[in-house]
Amino acid sequence: MIIITDPSDLTIEQVTVTNDVVITTRATSPTASCPCCGTASSRVHSHYQRTLCDLPASGRLVRLVIQVRRFFCEDKTCVRKIFAERFPSLTLPRAKFTLRLQEALQEMGFELGGEAGARLGRKQGYGGES
C-alpha cells in the first residue's frame, strides 16, 4: 500500500495502529514557497498539527497527522508575512481529506448516489456515522 503519494514531500515519524491507523509525518524540505509571491523561505515561524483522513487500510480508518510549519515570507514587499507550507500532491489547502480519498468518495457518490454511496463508504471503512 502506498501511504504517501510523493515520499519526497513527507517523512513518516510514527505509525500507530489501534482501531484506526494514525501516521505521523513531517515535511522533509528545508524550505517552502510563499503561496502569494512564490519566494522560497527557510525561516520557520511556528508549527501546528494538521490531520487528514486518507483511504482506509484493511477496513481501518487512516489518519495522517502532519507537523506543518509556518514560515516568514522573505519578500519584504509581499502582503503575506507568514504562510503555512502546502502539500499539493497530497491535499488542498484547508481540506480535511487527502486528494485520493476525496476522489474515491466523489466516484462513489457519482456512481451510487448520495445515500447508497455513504452506506458503502461506511462499510468499507471510510469513516462517518452509521
Q: Which residues bind to Zn ion, rule: CB under 5 A? A: 34, 36-37, 73, 75, 78, 80
Q: Which is nearer to Zn ion, 16 or 29 (CB)?
A: 29
Q: Which is nearer to Zn ion, 80 or 100 (CB)?
A: 80
Residues 71, 39: Cα–Cα separation, whole Å: 11
Q: Which is nearer to Zn ion, 26 or 80 (CB)?
A: 80
CB of 70 to Zn ion, least distance (A): 13
Q: Cell 500507530 maps to which residue?
A: 16
CA dihedral 70, 74, 80, 82 (to 10 degrees): 20
CB of 73 to Zn ion, least distance (A): 3
- Alpha carbon distances (Å) from 32 to 24, 37, 57, 78: 20, 12, 30, 15
CB of 69 to Zn ion, least distance (A): 15
